[in-house]
Amino acid sequence: MCKKRLFTTLLILIVCSFLAGCQINAASNPSEEKKSDTGNEDVSMEKLTNEDKVVTINGMVYTYADLKFFELMSKVEIELNRLQDQQSLTGKELEDKLKYWDEQIKYHDNYNVNLSKMIEQNSMYLLAEEKGLKVDEQVLQKKIDDFTQKVDQAELAKKLIEASSSDEYNTQLNTYFKQRVLTEEIYNILKEDVKKENPDAAEQEISYLTDKKYEELYMSQMESLNLTIETP
């Protein structure tokens, strides 16, 4: 699935452009609202607590604790990718990749980046449920087991998790991967459709067309949701 920085940036722009059609709870003046709606502006999180609402999707409230969990998972996966590169690359290529992963860690300090990713996964999970897609429990458990095993072998990833609340982490892990499995299933269904429509296309073109279909589907899903984004 397209999870690169370019696509995440697109999601941020979608969220920010969608704000005009959302119900925004803001106690600030217009100039402050404009600043908080800018995708490239980070949000001050000093005054936020775990219980503070950040977004409501079709009546389901997501808090700052939920947002921090998405930030944690993104950074853990970055550290897993870093370790994989350290084990397989050398020299300048490794140096460039390590620099890239450092940039990605900083990138995921951004409130809007994490909010966009959380909205995407939860929104597409709702779509999967609407379409009647179900999670295979064995597939789900294998996904979690594989992830846990990789984390155990990655010191930096393990430290990130240890620094978080173990109760919250364990509670949210199953739900996170359930949503992720179904979101990936939607993407894979779209990819199979693209292959049928373009039997002679190269893999790179298949990926491009699938990403485009996924983005269009996500935009359509966003427009169908009752979405309230809170202004921190």
Using 50, 70 and 90 to split pLDDT, how confident is the model at 171?
confident
Q: For residues 71 and 116, give the distance between their C-alpha atoms in angstroms, rounded to a whole number.
A: 11
Over 60: is that where the pLDDT of 194 sits? yes
The reported pLDDT for the residue numbered 17 is 52
The reported pLDDT for the residue numbered 40 is 46
Strand partners of residue 53: 63
- Roughly what angle, to the nearest 10 degrees, separates helices 137-152 and 155-162? 110
pTM exceeds 0.85: no
Domain ranges of the chain: 5-229
> Which of the four CATH numbers 1.10.10, 3.40.50, 3.90.25, 1.10.4030 does domain 5-229 have?
1.10.4030
Question: Per residue in 106-129, pLDDT tens?
Answer: 999 999 999 999 999 999 999 999
Edge-to-edge strands, sheet with 227-229:
60-63, 53-57, 227-229
Question: Per residue in 31-82, pLDDT tens?
Answer: 333 333 334 455 656 688 999 999 999 999 999 999 999 999 999 999 999 9
Residue partners of 200: CB distance under 8 A and separation at least 6? none
Q: For residues 230 and 47, give the distance between their C-alpha atoms in angstroms, rounded to a whole number.
A: 14
The reported pLDDT for the residue numbered 168 is 81
Q: What is the mean pLDDT of the chain?
A: 86
The reported pLDDT for the residue numbered 27 is 33
Q: For residues 130 and 220, give the distance between their C-alpha atoms in angstroms, rounded to a whole number.
A: 14
The reported pLDDT for the residue numbered 88 is 98
Query: Coil, strand, or helix at residue 105?
Result: helix
Q: For residues 218 and 221, give the distance between their C-alpha atoms in angstroms, rounded to a whole number.
A: 5
Using 50, 70 and 90 to split pLDDT, how confident is the model at 165?
confident
Strand pairing class (60-63; 227-229): unpaired
